[in-house]
């Protein structure tokens, strides 16, 4: 696309993604080394993942199961037969000088994922998802820390061989915010499947292709249909080194503006690879890399083909977030917002259903979505970190449901003390004297207040209605403030007039 004079309003952004997801297995994809992050470099390595001569890869069944689960979740085809290839390139993050990956026969093909962007439903096509091994990690040392100026390179192969799923979408995104919504949904799905740990550093890495084409090339209002010729004609940039939803939105917004500015000024957009520099908030041009034919893909003869299409029926996957959101609204009468909050992770949703099964679903929603998640969020704690204490939280909801404690005390005193001081709910209620006073005790206090204050009683009987407030105050004092003032008022009137 050269010297285009179109106005910005006539241009459309087209984005496609390659998302690399680390699969949460115990061991690497082709050897039995642990995938747990280690403090020591080259701690979880063996002849296979170091690429020593003669070492043979053996596929991890757990990684294949995870891939099949992902395939089911995105409604993809799992072909009868799928196989591995070697992708050759020369860089020290690959000790073998090739990466074992999948080429023309990936394990998942033609899937979809539905997302909601600003209240509107969109279906994103997923062209393929394939298994491969993660490379090792490099540190460029000296010379100011930049890659180009570094004096030498340190290599750690702990990460080498961690199973990765590369998920490739069609160019279906029209804005950086759609990309962000997709990544959030994808991450939720992967967490529900139990194949992904978002907390792990580098567990999600994104490459994005972005090009700007004239709006006239979009056929009709179905944004999925774009003229492929126009897409081919427009130069695209591949933005690498994105590692979060937020980062993706920022990097692509930057790149979108950069390309539109170039076009408006009549300059050509170079077809190139650019590196997202998170700290500076810009993309920078990277040296051009190999073309596809330079990777010299060929079949990995050390790994026999896989025939696992039947696994799709054998491996069960849990109810996915979108379905669960809808069910929560229908079954528990929740608002869309509450249902979204309560299905944000599987742990939260499971806990909500546990609580809602025993108590009022609305009360459960308030407690889990607002009170618990609110207090956890404030403390920057994940629900998974207090998994062992969820029974105690449930007990607290029970105390509120049984009217043994006011909602305000439960939230502001008991819950906070449980989280901050590790106390048990009943312990806080008892020691801090928060229990709502029993009816007998209130009635006793009412009788006492009447007996002890004949003057006020006389005033009331003579028509001074304000005198009742004095008596309410006396009862509240006797019950240590734990009685309900409205109830006390009624009890007093009944007693005085009865």
Shorter beta-carbon distance to another protein: residue 44 or 209: 44
Q: Least distance (Å) from another protein to the CB of residue 250?
A: 25
Whole-angstrom CA distances from 208 to 104, 129, 176, 250 are: 21, 15, 10, 12
Shorter beta-carbon distance to another protein: residue 81 or 229: 81
Shorter beta-carbon distance to another protein: residue 36 or 225: 36
Q: Least distance (Å) from another protein to the CB of residue 91?
A: 7
Shorter beta-carbon distance to another protein: residue 24 or 185: 24
Shorter beta-carbon distance to another protein: residue 290 or 370: 290
Residue 389 · residue 414 · CB < 8 Å: no
Handedness of CA 68, 70, 71, 72 (dihedral sign): positive
Structure tokens at 408: 């305000």
Shorter beta-carbon distance to another protein: residue 291 or 380: 291
CA distance 476 to 402: 21
Residue 32 · residue 164 · CB < 8 Å: no
Q: Least distance (Å) from another protein to the CB of residue 304?
A: 4
Q: Least distance (Å) from another protein to the CB of residue 354?
A: 29
Stated as kind and residue range, the H or E segment containing 64 is: helix 61-73
Shorter beta-carbon distance to another protein: residue 28 or 122: 28
Shorter beta-carbon distance to another protein: residue 88 or 469: 88
Q: Least distance (Å) from another protein to the CB of residue 325?
A: 31
Structure tokens at 94: 């690959």
Q: Least distance (Å) from another protein to the CB of residue 83?
A: 10
Stated as kind and residue range, the H or E segment containing 278 is: none
Structure tokens at 146: 């930049």
Q: Which residue has the tokens 């570094």?
A: 150
Structure tokens at 247: 């980062």
CA 350 centroid distance within chain: 16
CA distance 362 to 368: 10
Please spell the DSSP secondary structure of 201-231, one letter per residue. Answer: TTSEEEEEEEEEEEGGGB-SS-TT-B-HHHH
Residue 253 phi/psi, 5-degree rounding, is: -65, -40
Whole-angstrom CA distances from 194 to 19, 86, 132, 402 are: 17, 28, 19, 36
Q: Least distance (Å) from another protein to the CB of residue 340?
A: 33
Whole-angstrom CA distances from 426 to 91, 155, 366 are: 60, 54, 20
Shorter beta-carbon distance to another protein: residue 195 or 467: 195
Q: Least distance (Å) from another protein to the CB of residue 186?
A: 23
CA distance 8 to 319: 43
Q: Least distance (Å) from another protein to the CB of residue 193?
A: 15
Shorter beta-carbon distance to another protein: residue 31 or 74: 31
3-state DSSP assignment of residue 191: helix
Structure tokens at 301: 């003869």
Q: Least distance (Å) from another protein to the CB of residue 334?
A: 37
Q: Least distance (Å) from another protein to the CB of residue 140?
A: 7
219 closest CA partner among 230, 204, 208: 230
Q: Least distance (Å) from another protein to the CB of residue 142?
A: 8
Shorter beta-carbon distance to another protein: residue 165 or 234: 165
Handedness of CA 150, 156, 157, 160 (dihedral sign): negative
Structure tokens at 15: 């984005």
DSSP 10: G
Which residues are at the interface with another protein (CB under 8 A)?
A: 25-27, 31-34, 40-47, 50, 52, 58-64, 81, 88-92, 138-140, 143, 147-148, 150-157, 287, 290, 294, 303-308
Shorter beta-carbon distance to another protein: residue 155 or 424: 155
Q: Establish how many alpha carbons lie within 13 A of residue 450's alpha carbon, considering only the half-sphere containing its beta carbon.
A: 18
């Amino acid at each position: 696309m050269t010297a285009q004079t179109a106005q910005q309003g006539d241009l459309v952004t087209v984005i496609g993604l390659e998302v690399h997801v680390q699969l949460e297995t115990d061991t690497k994809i082709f050897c039995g080394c642990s995938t747990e992050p280690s403090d020591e470099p080259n701690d979880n390595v063996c002849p296979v993942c170091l690429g020593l001569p003669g070492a043979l890869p053996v596929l991890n069944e757990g990684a294949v199961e995870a891939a099949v689960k992902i395939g089911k979740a995105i409604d993809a085809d799992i072909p009868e037969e799928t196989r591995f290839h070697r992708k050759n390139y020369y860089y020290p993050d690959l000790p073998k000088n090739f990466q074992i990956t999948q080429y023309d026969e990936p394990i998942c093909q033609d899937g979809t994922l539905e997302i909601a962007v600003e209240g509107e439903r969109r279906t994103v096509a997923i062209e393929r998802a394939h298994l491969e091994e993660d490379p090792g990690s490099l540190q460029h040392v000296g010379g100011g820390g930049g890659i180009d100026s570094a004096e030498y390179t340190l290599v750690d192969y702990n990460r080498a061989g961690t199973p990765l799923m590369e998920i490739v979408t069609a160019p279906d995104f029209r804005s950086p915010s759609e990309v962000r919504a997709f990544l959030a949904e994808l991450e939720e799905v992967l967490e529900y499947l139990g194949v992904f740990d978002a907390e792990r550093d580098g567990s999600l890495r994104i490459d994005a292709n972005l090009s700007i084409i004239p709006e006239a090339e979009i056929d009709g209002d179905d944004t999925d249909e774009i003229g492929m010729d126009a897409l081919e004609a427009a130069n695209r940039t591949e933005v690498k080194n994105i590692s979060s939803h937020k980062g993706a939105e920022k990097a692509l917004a930057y790149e979108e503006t950069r390309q539109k500015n170039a076009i408006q000024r009549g300059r050509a957009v170079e077809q190139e690879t650019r590196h997202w520099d998170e700290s500076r908030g810009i993309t920078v041009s990277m040296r051009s890399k190999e073309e596809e034919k330079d990777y010299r893909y060929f079949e990995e003869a050390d790994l026999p083909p896989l025939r696992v299409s039947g696994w799709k029926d054998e491996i069960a996957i849990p109810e996915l977030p979108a379905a669960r959101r809808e069910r929560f609204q229908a079954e528990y009468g929740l608002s869309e917002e509450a249902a979204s909050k309560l299905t944000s992770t599987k742990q939260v949703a499971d806990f909500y259903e546990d609580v809602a099964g025993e108590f009022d679903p609305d009360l459960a929603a308030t407690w889990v979505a607002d009170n618990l998640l609110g207090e956890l969020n404030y403390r920057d704690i994940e629900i998974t970190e207090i998994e062992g204490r969820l029974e105690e939280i449930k007990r607290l909801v029970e105390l509120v449901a049984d009217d043994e404690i006011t909602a305000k005390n439960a939230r502001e005193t008991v819950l906070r003390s449980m989280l901050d001081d590790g106390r048990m709910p009943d312990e806080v209620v008892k020691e801090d004297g928060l229990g709502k006073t029993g009816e007998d005790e209130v009635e006793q206090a009412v009788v006492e207040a009447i007996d002890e204050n004949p003057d006020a009683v006389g005033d009331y009987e003579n028509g001074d209605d304000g005198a009742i407030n004095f008596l309410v105050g006396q009862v509240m004092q006797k019950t240590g403030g734990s009685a309900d003032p409205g109830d006390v008022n009624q009890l007093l009137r009944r007693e005085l007039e009865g």
